[in-house]
Structure 1
Amino acid sequence: MHQPAISDYGFISDCRSGALVSRDGSVDWWCPDRFDSASVFCRLLDPAGGHWRIAPLAASRVERAYRPDTLVLRTVHHTPEGSVAVTDALAAELGARGHQLGMNSPAVLLRVVEGLTGRVRMHLDFAPLPEYGLLTPYLHEQPDGGVLATTGSVALVLRGDGQVLRVDGDRVGHTFEIAAGQTIGFDLAYAPVYGPPAARLDPVATLAETARAWEAYREAHHYDGQYIPQVRHSATVLTGLTYARSGAVAAAPTTSLPERTGGDRNYDYRYSWLRDFSMTMDALWVAACPHEASRLFAWAARSIGRIGDAPVPVLFGLEGERDISEHAYPHLRGHAESRPVRIGNDAWRQRQLDVPGEVLAAVWRLHDYLGETFDEELREMVVGLAEQVAAMWRLPDRGMWETRDTERHYLSSKVLCWVALDRAVKLAPRLGDRADPRRWAAIRDEIRATVLREGWNDRIGAYTGAFGSAELDASALYLPVVQFLPATDPRMRSTIEMVERELGTDAGLVRRWNNDPAGFVLCSFWLVECLVMTGQRDRARALFEKVLGQANDVGLFAEQIDLRTGAQLGNTPQALSHIGLINAAWRLTDPTTA
């Protein structure tokens, strides 16, 4: 079976879970209970992994786009017989408006087929394989013409307006015609076997209601900077990656899409990373509202809990779960034969010294919103993180890119230790008697001196990725973003120029290191920010627009872009890529932003 490219997928969400829909009309990924639950379709990771396709029988030319300010995806197929549109969405709760979006999503996948011209023969192919393809369900024809699929703990009910669906072995194959002006709605409802029955909704009416819910949500969030359409779309993607019940933002809705085709760097990103925290907070502050930022902050504070001797994990489950141990699924072939397929992410076990800096930078971002006096739990968290950094900053760690080899003294980790204590010193008046700003400031200054001495490489003429290393690393671009050094500092400016020359490409992409075969989208947007901060606004704008051109046809970014082919790589859509877009657009709008 054909397996589409990563860039062929559009993303739909109900702020509980996400689904990926290919250009050829196939839903190839859906984890209906929540983003990090087991899938019922996983053709994304194996050509035989289960899917639900609706498309013309004849070959078609495809155009697709999101309804503005929504994650309602409309795909138009032009065939020799005529044209037809298929509109896909995950249903919002009826009547949901504003911040209610996603709080009580019914877990229903909507697909509405609309005849535009002529008379087009369509085919529906429904082949669910729950639990990442480990289970083959029983399919039962229903009196109303629908089909019930049950296995393990999963029940799925497929229905179509006026359609009688027939079971053929372990799938449903159904051919129908649609004429210009005619509309046929299909819905697929999920429910746990041992719980309430699956919701029954009118797919056409619910699709319209879902679009209104998204539009109302975006209308309540204003962005007044440059590149308004792109920023609003990226903000909508971030909303779609938010698990509404907790406020956590998933790094991506997918697992194991490869960073290198055929390689083994295939990781599960369906969790929320504290390392991304301050960047995410900045993006929400710019393109959403304080409510969204404060909900994410509250989730992080609850997830971190009381600070002990162990380092705070770099990531958590969407409801604050700490143990998300990693398992390989050898029965899946992987996307483009890229193995292993992983469920869970063992990065939660790593020592990541940059985490407290990201959290305390976010506290500083929100400090006026949080009030002049912090409550006891917030005071304890800030003081605990500051003390942890004071005790641990000299240790090596795994670094920003979560290497799975030897721990090192990574530059970005030490800089984020400086950020943690710098922000803690600024927050000290709100922290009560346990605050120790004089000692924190002394350690902060020691960290700074160490970074300036050990992180600089005279031969390279740049700050490198780790102390004593001669290898350039694009993470050095983060130093001006977190205000460790001004971008105009002579050594920092030299580093920016070296990264652009040695790690940059004509396409505007920036690799993380020299032997990286792909551009890392976030690093490209960091370079935009650095160019703005060095006064090179025209070059920054040109670079920003080049990177925008690397998005797929519906404005989505995966994690990386292949330098040779331009193909998207890694999990998609990637929150950090869209966060980088928002923050770079705001930097172009207001170069003094911090």
Structure 2
Amino acid sequence: MQICNYRPINSYGVIGDCHSVVLVSPDGSVDWGCLPDFDSPALFCRLLDSERGGYFQIAPTDKTIPGFQRYLRGSNVLQTKFSSTMGEVAITDFMPVETLSAWPYRGMNNNTWTREDGSCHCLVRSVECTHGELPVTMTLKVTPNYAASPSEISLAQHNLGALITGGQQYVGLGIVGAYRASSFSMIVVQNEGDIHPELIVQMTLREGERIVFALGVGRNAQAARRLVDVELHQRNFDVELTHTLHCWRKWISGCTYYGPYAEEVQRSALALKMMTYAPTGAIVAAPTTSLPEDLKGVRNWDYRYTWLRDATFTLYALNVLGFTEEARAFTYWLRRLSYANGEDLQIMYGIRGERDLTERELPHLSGYQDSHPVRIGNGAADQKQLDVFGEVLDCIHIYRRQGGFERYGETLDGPLWAMMQTLVEHVCAHWQEPDCGIWEVRGELRHFVYSKVMCWVALDRAIRAAQQLHLEADLSRWCLVRDQIRTDILSRGYNTTIGTFTQSYESTALDASNLLLPLVGFIPPDDP
């Protein structure tokens, strides 16, 4: 494996539609993409194997011409420009959205397929020559099922596009405007020993000429074929681009932050919004799998799931910026999770509330810069992490304090309060036990200080809600347990020799997570 073939992870642009995202490199290549949903098997995974992984590249035929990326103002629409003395082409990449709001709360079976065949959730790549003339090459290599399944390409007539199938995944590529190009040719190339053929388009574009490549997925080959032959060609992608820009700009206009680095803060908010899954209100930790914590290391995990902790951190960031709809959608997702009691609550779930996230390795992929193994699924779902109870209740607390319930004509009672009571009772029964901690240590359980503090937070937030809203609760016992937890942390979690809170009891190791102690109100910020 030639490591030089890999681009820095932070060089990628990201676009999404609150169903999934794709990563686009400055050389115009989509190197990671799971469609139609975050957890769909990857169709493009060159990010994890530069030789075997699929990609979708549009760029000047002259590979020495560099690309420069920018987002269109206030949106997650990405533009990549290639300029030379001969001419300039601009590629506008977006995933059309109808709305950025979570779907109606009908149940956990919400997903892309239950609403339609996936045709409206697609990737649109518009390439236009803005001056001069440039030869451009489009290369599409679809590698179904994380490049484990072979694929076949069937060309449509009259350069309308192609159907790519394999591994029970069905991809339709529609090509709109091929007749406008000064020259246009399309061939299928099957390299020896490669189970994934490539679709290659060679074209020359002159100033004002534009071609749109729209890629969608269908539930079956017939649905994908309809995309290629009919549906993608009936859509007005100019209108969809305008509407998509409007949706993103309307959403970001709700940002209430106007301080330093406002542009960077808004860009971060736009990125976080892409991590939300509109069909259910879930929030993924990341849209990728197996990007290494350290190059050549083995801590390469699949983050395309909803960690209760990570989701609440995302919601906290969005809440303080003035965005509350995401928290409302997430609380509905929480209420519909399948669990009998606190014992049964997992630290993480699939985006539709799936409990089984069985972890397995993909040995046929070499990993980003040869960092293997590549994994899908995540065994941490079975871990014991006591801090998640505090983070969930703190998230609801912040949402309540910011008037979220009143804003939508709702109250904190009924099923949501019953759920909170269940979580609190679980903390009362188990806070004295060791766990895996926030860093998901895969080894001996320990008494992590941060976990204990978040158990204190769980009690504290529930007590406040019960007192302020006059809700039914065993307040005297809850207050007693809250005080017991605090005393235990101060006596066992603070090392007087080194003058600081430690990572775990009877340890001298430090932990950055303890910097959150003043932020959650456990100690004052100026505590000596």
TM-score bin, normalised by smaller chain: 0.7 to 0.9
TM-superposed deviation, 1:382: 1.0
User: Which of 501, 514, 517 is the equivalent residue of 1:463?
Assistant: 501
| Pair 1:56-2:70 in alignment | no
Code of the aligned partner of 2:198? R
* Residue number in structure 1 paired with 2:108: none
Output the CA distance in 2 between the equivalents of 1:130 and 1:287: 39
- Offset of residue 176 of structure 1: 0.9
Paired amino acid for 1:456: Y
Match of 1:87 among 89, 92, 96: 92
Provide the residue aligned with 1:154 in structure 2.
Answer: 169
Distance apart, 1:363 and its partner CA: 1.9
Quote the residue 2:404 is aligned against: 369
| Offset, 1:227 | 2.7
Q: Distance in 1 between matches of 2:413 and 2:85?
A: 66
Task: From the superposition, tell whether residues 469 and 34 of structure 1 become closer, same or farther in structure 2 (CA, over 3 Å).
Answer: same
The answer for the alignment partner of 1:137 in structure 2 is 151
| 1:221-232 matches, cutoff 5 A | 221-232=255-266
Question: SS state of the match for residue 111, structure 1?
Answer: strand
Cα deviation for residue 219 of structure 1 reads 2.9
Aligned residues of 1:147 and 1:165 also touching (Cα < 8 A): no
2:181 corresponding residue in structure 1: none
Distance in 2 (CA, whole Å) between partners of 1:258 and 1:308 is: 32
Structure 1 residue 260, shift from structure 2 partner: 0.2
Matched, 1:407 2:407: no
Distance 1:466 1:195 in 2: 57
Give the match's secondary structure for 1:118.
Answer: strand
The separation in 1 between residues aligned to 2:421 and 2:221, in whole angstroms, is: 44
Report what 1:339 is aligned to.
372
Q: 2-side partners of 1:219 and 1:472: how far apart?
A: 40
Matched, 1:165 2:203: no
Paired AA for residue 73 in structure 1: L
| 1:192 to 1:470, Cα distance in 2 relative to 1, 3 A | same
> What's the counterpart of residue 343 of structure 2?
309
Once residues 308 and 53 of structure 2 are traced to their aligned partners in structure 1, the CA distance between those partners, rounded to angstroms, is 32
Which residue number in structure 2 is paired with residue 420 of structure 1? 458
Residue of structure 2 equivalent to 1:442: 480
Determine the structure 1 residue equivalent to 2:70.
Answer: 65
Q: What corresponds to 1:539 in structure 2?
A: none
Identical amino acids, percent of aligned pairs: 38
Q: CA deviation at 1:29?
A: 0.9
SS at match of 1:216: helix
Local SS of the residue matching 2:505: coil
Partner of residue 429, structure 2? 391
Residues 100-249 of structure 1 mapped to structure 2, 5 A cutoff: 106-145=120-159, 146-163=161-178, 165-169=186-190, 170-193=197-220, 196-197=223-224, 198=227, 199-200=231-232, 201-249=235-283
* 1:52 positional shift: 0.8
Q: Output the amino acid matched with 1:266.
A: N
Aligned residues between the structures: 486
Q: Distance in 2 between matches of 1:391 and 1:153?
A: 46
CA distance in 2, matches of 1:16, 1:209: 17
**Residue in 2 that maps onto 1:497:** none
The offset of 1:221, in angstroms, is: 4.5
CA contact (8 A) 2:150 2:167 kept: no
Q: Letter of the 2:94 partner, please give it.
A: A
> Aligned match of 1:260 in 268, 283, 294?
294
Question: Shift of the alpha carbon at 1:212?
Answer: 2.6
Deviation of 1:194 after TM superposition, in Å, equals 6.4
Counterpart pick for 2:38 among 16, 23, 35: 35
Shift in Å, 1:97: 6.8
**How much is the aligned-residue C-alpha RMSD, in angstroms?**
2.2
- 1:476-507 deviation digits (Å, cap 9, x = unpaired): 101011111111000xxxxxxxxxxxxxxxxx
TM-aligned CA deviation for residue 195 of structure 1:
7.2
Matched to 2:174, the amino acid is R
Q: Which residue of 2 aligns with 1:77?
A: 82
CA contact (8 A) 1:74 1:85 kept: yes
Alignment partners' CA distance in 2, 1:194 and 1:247 = 29
Match of 2:387 in 1: 354
Native 8 Å contact 2:172 2:216 kept in 1: yes
Task: Give CA deviations for 1:521-565 in whole Å, capped at 9, x if unaligned.
Answer: xxxxxxxxxxxxxxxxxxxxxxxxxxxxxxxxxxxxxxxxxxxxx
SS at match of 1:85: strand
TM-score (norm 2): 0.87
Contact 1:330 1:341 in 2 (8 A): yes
Distance apart, 1:89 and its partner CA: 1.1
Post-superposition CA distance 1:376-433 (Å, at most 9, x none)? 2112111111110000001000011111111100010000000001111112244744
TM-score for the superposition, normalised by structure 1: 0.78
The separation in 2 between residues aligned to 1:231 and 1:100, in whole angstroms, is 26
Distance change (3 Å), C-alpha of 1:288 and 1:481: same
1:452 aligns with 2:490: yes
Change in Cα spacing, 1:330 to 1:272, as seen in structure 2 (3 Å) is same
Separation in structure 1 between the aligned mates of residue 45 and residue 441 of structure 2, nearest angstrom: 27
Q: What are structure 1's unaligned runs of at least 5 residues?
A: 491-594
- 1:52 and 1:373 mapped to 2: Cα distance? 48
Any stretches of 5+ residues in structure 2 without a counterpart?
A: 105-110, 179-184, 191-196
Judged with a 3 Å threshold, the aligned counterparts in structure 2 of structure 1 residues 330 and 458 are, in CA distance, closer, same or farther, namely: same
Checking the alignment, whether the CA contact within 8 Å between 1:98 and 1:220 is kept in structure 2 is no
Q: Is the 8 A contact 2:175 2:214 kept in 1?
A: yes
What amino acid is the match of 1:190? V
CA distance in 2, matches of 1:393, 1:78: 60
Cα gap change, 1:324 to 1:131, in 2 (>3 Å): same
Q: For residue 568 of structure 1, what is the aligned residue in structure 2? A: none
* Superposed counterparts of 1:464-483, under 5 Å: 464-483=502-521
SS at match of 1:469: coil
Name the SS of the counterpart of 1:448 in structure 2.
helix
Matched, 1:283 2:317: yes
Distance 2:244 2:412 in 1: 38
